[in-house]
């Protein structure tokens, strides 16, 4: 099936709780039925989206404790999501065009650049390097809107480059850090399990959460110091994870049925999403304690 396009300043509402070595803050845009958070930069700025009753999703920036909607006033669209933000304030994401397809975007100093991989049906801009290189994935759809194939990409100096995990049927890049390392997902036509990967200096390493019963692994971000966060599935649902070197740690929002970790900065702050009813409807910020901070 086709992946859905998840598809004025207001004070941040929150509920904080401590779980393990992290203090969690739940994030919900006032009046929204869904709020998701996907990226956090080294200044603590957060991006994601919110959805009001009866509306599509709207890209969102949270800065200095205030909600700043990016759609439709800035992006000029009605369905969008922001995925990552670098320390210069450049934001990447995707919006739904009048053609019903997803188009990647780069928002830099108020200037919007649409990113469409040549020949693609959908393009999703999911990661951005501190220097401005954008990464993500694109797909080709059949006449019914089903995904036929997915490929990763990088975009730099107005030039696209395709990126594929060696031997994979599908590849997607979820994030890129200041060093140019990137993480994402890959699969084969025969494997029932989705795998993650990390790539550094042209070398690819497959990444699977080493817990019993894991059905898929999806790394969603990598910090400048190499800390990886993401999500994995098992029989009990979806869980977040933190990987520091070869050490993996489970990250679940307290009392949640589903947790996904999407963004991490150099200070070890993590953003993601959680839900109690089988659907992730709220974002969160996880603040590391003195002993819980990834190094």
Are the C-beta atoms of residues 89 and 96 closer than 8 Å to each other? no
Residue 209 predicted with pLDDT over 50: yes
pLDDT range class, residue 129, cuts 50, 70, 90: very high
- How much of the chain, in percent, has pLDDT values that exceed 90? 84
Residue 13 predicted with pLDDT over 80: no
pLDDT value of residue 25: 97
Residues 234-291 have pLDDT tens digits of 999 999 999 999 999 999 999 999 999 999 999 999 999 999 987 779 999 999 985 4
Are the C-beta atoms of residues 201 and 182 closer than 8 Å to each other? no
Residues 43-97 have pLDDT tens digits of 999 999 999 999 999 999 999 999 999 988 889 888 999 999 999 999 999 999 9
Closest CA to 261 of 144, 197, 169, 175: 175
User: Structure pTM?
Assistant: 0.91
Which residue is it, tokens 């025969």? Answer: 190
pLDDT value of residue 124: 98
User: 160 is written with which tokens?
Assistant: 């696209």
pLDDT value of residue 189: 80
Q: What integer best gives the mean pLDDT of the chain?
A: 91
Where do the structural domains in the chain lie, given as residue ranges? Answer: 10-288
Partners of residue 39 on adjacent β-strands: 47
Closest CA to 240 of 203, 216, 272, 268: 272
pLDDT range class, residue 20, cuts 50, 70, 90: low
Are the C-beta atoms of residues 24 and 270 closer than 8 Å to each other? no
- DSSP states of the chain as a string? -PPP-----EEPP--EEEETTEEEEEE--TT-SEEEEEEE-TT--EEEEEE-TTS-EEEEEEETTEEEE-TTTTT--SSEEEEEE-TT--EEEEEE-TTS-EEEEEEETTEEEEE--TT-SEEEEEEE-TTS-EEEEEEEE-TTS-EEEEEEEEEETTEEEEE--TT-SEEEEEEE-TTS-EEEEEE-SS-SSBEEEEEETTEEEEE---STT--EEEEEEE-TT--EEEEEEETTEEEEEEEETTEEEEE--TT-SEEEEEEE-TT--EEEEEESSSS--EEEEEEE-TTT---
Domain at 10-288, CATH from 3.40.50.720, 3.10.310.40, 2.60.120.260, 2.120.10.30: 2.120.10.30
Residue 26 predicted with pLDDT over 70: yes
Average pLDDT of span 85-111: 97
């Amino acid at each position: 099936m086709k992946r859905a396009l998840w598809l004025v300043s207001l004070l941040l509402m929150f509920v904080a709780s401590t779980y393990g070595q992290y203090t969690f803050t739940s994030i919900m845009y006032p009046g929204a039925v869904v709020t998701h958070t996907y990226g956090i930069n080294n200044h603590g700025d957060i991006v994601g989206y919110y959805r009001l009753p009866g509306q599509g999703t709207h890209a969102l920036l949270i800065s200095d404790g205030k909600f700043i909607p990016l759609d439709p006033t800035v992006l000029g669209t009605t369905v969008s999501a922001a995925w990552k933000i670098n320390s210069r304030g450049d934001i990447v994401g995707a919006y739904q065009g009048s053609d019903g397809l997803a188009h990647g975007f780069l928002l830099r100093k108020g200037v919007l650049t649409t990113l469409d991989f040549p020949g693609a049906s959908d393009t999703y801009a999911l990661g951005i390097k501190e220097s401005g290189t954008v990464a993500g994935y694109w797909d080709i759809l059949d006449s019914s809107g089903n995904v036929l194939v997915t490929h990763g990409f990088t975009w730099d100096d107005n030039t696209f480059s395709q990126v594929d995990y060696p031997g994979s049927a599908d590849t997607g890049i979820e994030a890129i850090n200041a060093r140019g390392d990137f993480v994402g997902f890959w699969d084969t036509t025969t494997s029932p399990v989705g795998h993650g990967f990390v790539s550094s200096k042209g070398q690819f390493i497959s990444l699977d959460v080493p817990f019993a019963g894991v059905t898929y692994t999806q790394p969603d971000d990598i910090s400048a110091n190499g800390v990886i966060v993401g999500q994995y599935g098992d029989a009990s649902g979806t869980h977040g994870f933190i990987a520091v070197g070869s050490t993996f740690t489970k990250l679940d929002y307290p009392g949640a049925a589903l947790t996904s970790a999407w963004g991490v900065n150099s200070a070890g702050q993590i953003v993601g999403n959680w839900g109690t009813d089988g659907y992730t409807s709220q974002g969160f910020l996880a603040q590391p304690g003195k002993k819980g901070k990834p190094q």
